[in-house]
Structure 1
Amino acid sequence: MPLQPSIDKITEISRVLLSIAGRYLVFAGALYLFFYVWRRRTYWYSKIQQRYPESKHILREIVYSFFTILIFGAVILLVIYASKQHLTGIYPNISDKGYPYYFLSIGLMILMHDTYFYWTHRVMHWKPLFKLMHKTHHLSTNPTPFAAYAFHPLEAVVEIGIVPLIAFTIPYHGTALTIFSLYSLLLNVTGHLGYELFPQGFTTHKLFKWHNTSTHHNMHHRLIKCNYGLYFNIWDRLMGTNHPDYEKSFEQVVEKREKVKCKGDPGLLSDELATE
């Protein structure tokens, strides 16, 4: 009998870590295999930087991601423990607050995280903190989907900080937090995809221009002091931190992509696949 609590704890720890690792591998792994392996030559024309990262850089991203998963797991386990002690805003049934609030809470989480990410990101670009922790993430100047979790351990703590912030400040249902987490991972992975998928005119459209693109974050990795946002382009526009050539760069990538597609021969560019 005394062993049962320990077994239960190990089971819960394993479940949380496997869940985080599984989601990461499904999202990052699937997109990497599709764009960087299986259809590598076919979609070369959509590659933002016309070269592929070396294997050693991809391996580094995966190794740092492993430690990030452990840190994320530890923080989430603490939040789960706090929830069991009735210290967070979690509620058991969707009917307790109704579906309108349920969906509203997901939107609120996304907006909270977008604000949290922008400002913590800018703080980490302060020179002492950049050298201490954020420089690790910027080693990926030509990122792949695996860069989504390629953080210094200290930065990983900052990144997962949004979860306790949500848990201790707003009422939420467990599945709402799960949906938010999946959305966050998807946007994070596509931001580091290295390929531009959005259509021409996206960054100048009255509505869509407020949403970020892969080009936006790719420029951040390459140029560093610009384009700090995550989901939306709201804070960058308000604070004047968009790179002045962001929209131009996006259009150049998309125009090249569309030009090759119209010629009906994606292989035109694929014979000279460059590597860093």
Structure 2
Amino acid sequence: MDLVLNAADYYFFTPYIYPATWPEDSIFRQAVSLLIITNLGAYILYFLFATLSYYFVYDHSLMKHPQFLKNQVYREIMHSVQSMPWISLPTVSVFLLEVRGYSKLYDSIEEFPYGWFRFIASVLSFLFFTDMLIYWIHRGLHHRLVYKHLHKPHHIWKIPTPFASHAFHPLDGFLQGLPYHIYPFIFPLHKVVYLGLYVLVNIWTISIHDVSGCKNEKLFNGEFKKTE
């Protein structure tokens, strides 16, 4: 994330927003900047790709399903818009640790022996690591002690549209994204790969809510009935 922060400082924050006396490496300034960047980026990705998916991929016949809620698209959007700033707060704290140099993110492939092999292996291990942890986190969120408090709001949308992709309880949304942030503190990962995977993960989150409404209903209805 420091790549994005440095670009934002160079082209926008330093010349136009912050006073010259406020150093770029100030932890408070970095926190404020990351909060702005994270929220702005999240909204752009959400509205851009959810809108594209809704108009060009989503099966609109699903909206005739009896479990499709009244004004559901509007409600999904409002829920997402209200949740994302709260999700960003703990997310920014992780980004701040990365920017301050506490992660294992690196700039150059040549920093390690077998650099390109490590580069490719890190992508595969990232996908395995995050998918595995998300499975267990998601499974834990369906536990009867926490389900109704955290995860149940996301399953209000029995027939979801792409706009439901970020309609989470804030803590639920952060927990399901946490594996992506944990990985570079445990394993080395190239900064550009991390940034690219972070963007792709957000697009993937939207994509699994487009044509899969009926599948989601079949998949989660059983769990929903068990944990409700």
Q: Secondary structure at the match of 1:143?
A: coil
CA distance in 2, matches of 1:174, 1:121: 27
Q: Is the 8 A contact 1:88 1:167 kept in 2?
A: yes
CA distance in 1, matches of 2:130, 2:30: 32
Describe the shift of the 1:9–1:135 C-alpha distance in structure 2 as closer, same or farther (beyond 3 A).
closer
- Matched residue count: 200
Question: What does residue 103 of structure 1 align with?
Answer: 120
Deviation per residue, 1:127-153 (Å, 9 max, x gap): 121111111001001111111111112
Q: More helix by proportion, 1 or 2?
A: 2
Q: 1:30 aligns with which of 38, 41, 52?
A: 52
1:74: Cα distance to partner?
A: 2.5
For CA contacts below 8 A with separation 6 or more, give which structure has more relative contact order: 2
Q: 2:160 aligns with which of 138, 143, 157?
A: 143
Question: What does residue 103 of structure 2 align with?
Answer: 88
Question: What does residue 64 of structure 1 align with?
Answer: 79
1:163: Cα distance to partner?
A: 2.9
Q: Secondary structure at the match of 1:88?
A: coil
Given the alignment of the two structures, is residue 51 of structure 1 paired with residue 65 of structure 2, yes or no?
yes
Q: 1:174 aligns with which of 165, 188, 191?
A: 191
CA distance in 2, matches of 1:92, 1:177: 11
Q: 1:78 is aligned with what amino acid?
A: S
Structure 1 unmatched ranges of 5 or more: 197-213, 227-276
CA distance in 2, matches of 1:106, 1:115: 14
Q: 2:97 is aligned with what amino acid?
A: A
Q: Is the 8 A contact 2:34 2:96 kept in 1?
A: no
Describe the shift of the 1:21–1:127 C-alpha distance in structure 2 as closer, same or farther (beyond 3 A).
same
Q: 1:111 is aligned with what amino acid?
A: F
1:216: Cα distance to partner?
A: 4.2
Q: Secondary structure at the match of 2:146?
A: helix
CA distance in 2, matches of 1:56, 1:128: 30
1:219: Cα distance to partner?
A: 2.3
1:111: Cα distance to partner?
A: 1.0
**Higher Rg:** 1
Q: Is the 8 A contact 1:106 1:179 kept in 2?
A: no
1:169: Cα distance to partner?
A: 0.9
CA distance in 1, matches of 2:30, 2:149: 37
Q: Is the 8 A contact 1:146 1:189 kept in 2?
A: yes
Identity of aligned residues (%): 20
1:180: Cα distance to partner?
A: 2.0
Deviation per residue, 1:81-100 (Å, 9 max, x gap): 21233211111223324232
Please give the residue correspondences for 1:1-276 in structure 2 after superposition, counting only pairs within 5 Å: 1-3=20-22, 9-35=31-57, 40=60, 44=61, 47=62, 51=65, 53-54=68-69, 56-97=71-112, 98-193=115-210, 195=211, 216-224=215-223
Q: Is the 8 A contact 2:87 2:170 kept in 1?
A: no
1:16: Cα distance to partner?
A: 2.3
Q: Secondary structure at the match of 1:77?
A: helix
Q: Is the 8 A contact 1:91 1:172 kept in 2?
A: yes
CA distance in 2, matches of 1:131, 1:180: 31
Q: Is the 8 A contact 2:133 2:179 kept in 1?
A: yes
CA distance in 1, matches of 2:122, 2:175: 22
Structure 2 unmatched ranges of 5 or more: 1-19
1:179: Cα distance to partner?
A: 2.5
CA distance in 1, matches of 2:193, 2:214: 29
Describe the shift of the 1:89–1:215 C-alpha distance in structure 2 as closer, same or farther (beyond 3 A).
farther
Describe the shift of the 1:183–1:23 C-alpha distance in structure 2 as closer, same or farther (beyond 3 A).
same
Cα RMSD of the aligned pairs, angstroms, is 2.8
TM-score w.r.t. the length of structure 2 is 0.74
Question: What does residue 230 of structure 1 align with?
Answer: none
